[in-house]
Structures are given as C-alpha cells and as structure tokens.
Structure 1
C-alpha cells in the first residue's frame, strides 16, 4: 500500500501510519493524530465516491452517539499521486476486535451478551433520534473494546428516513446481509422499513452469540432456504442456562418477529424492556 509514503504530506498531524485494509472500495489505515490520538484514516476510491458514501459520513455525524466511533474530519484530497481525487475521513479508532472474531473462539457469557445488547440498543436509540436505520447489524459490525464496551460501526448502507431512498423502488431486494436482514428489508418494502429492522438483526446476532451458530444460515443449502426459514418459522432461541423464567428468550423472540408490527415499537422500548430484565439476572453489567 504505497499510499503510506505520501499521505502524511496531505494530512498534517498524523504519524505512525500503517495499512489495515485495501478493498474494492477503500483504503483503511491506522494512525496517531496530534490531537485526536489513535485514529483510523479512510480513503474512498473514486468509483465508490457517490451519494451513498456521502450519506455514510452524514449518518455518523448526525447520530452523535457514544456507541458509534466519531468522525473527526473529512474532505477531498485533490491532486494526489494516485492520479485522481479521493474522499477521505479521519475517525476515532476503537482498539479491540469485532464480535465475529470473538465467536471464532467461543460464545459470549451472560455478562457479555447483556452488555452487547444494551450498548447496541443505546446506539439504536441515538439513531432513532436521527431517523437513521443501520440495515447491517451483524457480528462483523460490532467491536468489543478493551474495557468490554461494544461499538457499532459501518454505516455504508444506512437508510436516512428523511432523505430519498437510493434503492430503486422496483428492485426485487434491498441492501443488507443474508440471514440478518428482516423480511421487509430484503423484500424492499420501503414503507415498512424503520428502526425495527435493526431490532430484528440484533436479535439474530444475539442468538448467534449465545449458541455460536447462525439460527438461519447454519445448515442451509442456499440463499432461498435461508429466506424460507426466516419467513416460515419464529426465530429459533437456544437454551440459555441463565435465562430464568424465559424472560430473555421472550425478549429475543419479540425483537426477532417476522412481522414489523409485532416487534417492540422502537429501540427505546426495547432498551427499557432490557433494563427491567437485567434486575432479574445476577451479575448484570
């Protein structure tokens, strides 16, 4: 990633620049900033520097959540040695690992499950105030930091409910990840899409964190079977040893309902429900 050799000249105040990722859409670097400390630098390649990229940046700025890494600065680098202009941003770096990496070693404990659930719901409450739907909640997009806090990342397909949709109304499916997106999202039913879509994806994620297996994808032979499972049966809830009286299982079942109107009204209601449940669990965070 030869960008490292010239980038500090374009972004004063950064040092210790190291490449983290180069994909089809962007370059990602870790760095130290003179005032912001440990940061992530992202360069967005020109063929993806469209309205969706601008909305990703806008989403994080508008949410202003303590559970979402901050964007300190963004702009456009012009006249670069690459031969083209690039959108760039500098954001808060969370030192830790994503939940998918954690699940490759083991499932999460009661304390970790409750902390993840609460922290993501807190992010979703802030998103609800900004009228933004994440649409891609899954283990890869949740980071656990060294102090045990959980952070929600990657707003690349976030839906701004007060802006026009970027997905064609006639499209057969909406953006999202197979197995986590609820029926109204992958069926592109725009009128039904709101923050309750993220509650469904969070419920699926929590079941995966408890059991170590994806409740819809594990054992499915193809994508149509996954979709059939989601639409044909309630969210499978594994046995939870610490779930006295099935309270937490009922909570997950409610968030994971196939019908939008059967889920909690919004993230605030779900968070209140969780807070009431935590009093019944010994060792709650």
Structure 2
C-alpha cells in the first residue's frame, strides 16, 4: 500500500476514534497529508505524517504553535503521536483555512502593488510576533500562505521546520544545506550557516514571495534563466539583479530590495523597521 492510501486509511481511523467526520483530502507534502474534518458544525484541518526517527522537531513545531496567538497564524488545537497498522504517526488538528493558497492565486497571474501590500503588512506583523517569541519559521512560501474565508486575509501555516533560537539546533553541522524550500530560502539557509539564522531569514523569504507577487517571477531569476540559476545566485550571496531592482522601483516596491540583501546585516534590523517600510 502506498503512503497516500495508508494515510487516508489512518485519517479515517483517527476520525472514528475522535468522533470526527472525514470530508475530503485538502493537500499533501512530501510526507504529510491534510484532510478536512468536521465536528458538529465546526471544520478542522487534520494533518498526518509518519514518524521517522526522533520526534524532537514535531514537538518543537507543536510547542511553537501553541505559544502563538495571532490572527494571521493558523491555530493549532491539538497534536499527539498515534499508530496505525503498527506504524507510528504524528497527528495534528488545526484551524481550517478555507480560502486557498497564495500559490494557487499566483498561478493565475501576478498581483498589483496594492494587493501585494495588503498581504505584506499582516505577514510582516507575523514576523514581529515570531521575533518576540524567538522563533524563525524558515519555510515562508506561497504554498504555506493561505487565505481566510474572506479571501483577503493571509494566514501563515506549516511550522514543520520552525527554529527555536533559545534551543539547540536540530540540523547537523556537516550538512551542506539547511532545512527550507530552496526556491524561497535565504543564503544562510542554503549554506547551512546556522549562526546567521534569525528573524531576518524569514524577512528574506517573505521578500522573495512578495517580489514574486509583483514581478511574476523569482527576483533572482531573469527572463532567460530557470529557478535553479536563481537558487545558485542566492546561495552565492549575489545582490538582486539590476533588472529586478529597476522593476521593483518602478512598481513602488523598492523597500523589498533591502530585505533581499544577501547578508542579514544588510536587511532591516528589527521587524518594526520592515513594517514601517511597507507602510510608506
């Protein structure tokens, strides 16, 4: 039985034990599946993932989310280990965000400056909230930005590789790459420079997403290049290409150029500085 079918059966098993109604699958990642479930009139997202190795990272994700209370962060209600067919699973029950993903929205075309800023300001507020709790999301990308029922309010989800700055890193020193999605990762992630990772890593990732919203492409990927070239440019700590800088300035989004600095010290120093730049 493949993983998709096995997790679907496990989801039905969890729902039966918990008195939940399994409605449909919502989506999937490399090793995770999410399902829409109901309890009475309330809808939730049920997420299942096989437990492979230590559960330290799963516990950190749970603790980090339970410590957050922000309108633009998906709420976690419960998370616990379980078993199905003798195999260990991690189960999470989260807030259901019904408005689709930013990834889906961008597949239909780029956004206007106003639409992008309406995303940017609340998400920068999320970075402030995480900064105050010494958390770094490390996986900000269009697929992890959902929209609330109004279709306008952005909600950040998937804290699976959250970094808790006050706890020892779970990433091995010898690894060439750190956790993250390469197309949206900051240089310090791509090079596994753990000592450089802080809230400014999330700032860089969010700036990549916002640049993609207005440019219709990755800011380090020129029209004749592919995404792999862009990742190499970022990992090599190159400055934003002049063509992208010019376009961002023309579109009134020049504040993103500083957030895309290859070195953390060149980015906005504090979240409120970034928030203020987005407000101008």
Shared fold by TM > 0.5? Answer: yes
Change (3 A) 1:274 1:98: same
1:145 paired residue number: 148
1:8 paired residue number: 15
More off after superposition, 177-186 vs 152-161: 177-186
Question: Aligned pairs, how many?
Answer: 268
Aligned to 1:231, the other structure's residue is in SS state coil
* Alignment gaps of 5+ in structure 2: 1-7
2:245 paired residue number: 237
TM-score between the two structures when normalised by the length of structure 2: 0.86
Partners in 2 of 1:233 and 1:180 — Cα distance? 15
Residue 214 (1) aligns with residue 218 (2)? yes
Partners in 2 of 1:274 and 1:23 — Cα distance? 31
* Alignment gaps of 5+ in structure 1: 278-285
Deviation at 1:254, TM superposition (A): 1.2
Residue 89 (1) aligns with residue 95 (2)? no
Residue 154 (1) aligns with residue 158 (2)? yes
Partners in 2 of 1:15 and 1:225 — Cα distance? 44
TM-score between the two structures when normalised by the length of structure 1: 0.85
Aligned to 1:47, the other structure's residue is in SS state coil
Conserved 8 A contact 2:47-2:92: yes
Partners in 2 of 1:269 and 1:11 — Cα distance? 45
Structure 1 residue runs of 4 or more that deviate by more than 4 Å after TM superposition? 240-243
Question: Which residue of the other structure, out of 56, 66, 80, is the alignment partner of 1:51?
Answer: 56
Kindly report the root-mean-square deviation, in angstroms, between the aligned alpha carbons of the 2 structures: 2.4
Conserved 8 A contact 1:71-1:90: yes
Residue 167 (1) aligns with residue 171 (2)? yes
Conserved 8 A contact 1:15-1:32: yes
Cα deviation per residue 1:178-206 (whole Å; 9 max; x = unaligned)? 23212122111122110001111111111
Alignment of 1:1-285 (within 5 A): 1-12=8-19, 14-21=20-27, 24-34=30-40, 37-47=42-52, 50-78=55-83, 80=84, 82-147=85-150, 148-217=152-221, 219-220=224-225, 223=228, 226-228=231-233, 231-234=237-240, 236-237=244-245, 239=247, 243=251, 246=252, 248-249=253-254, 251-275=255-279, 277=280
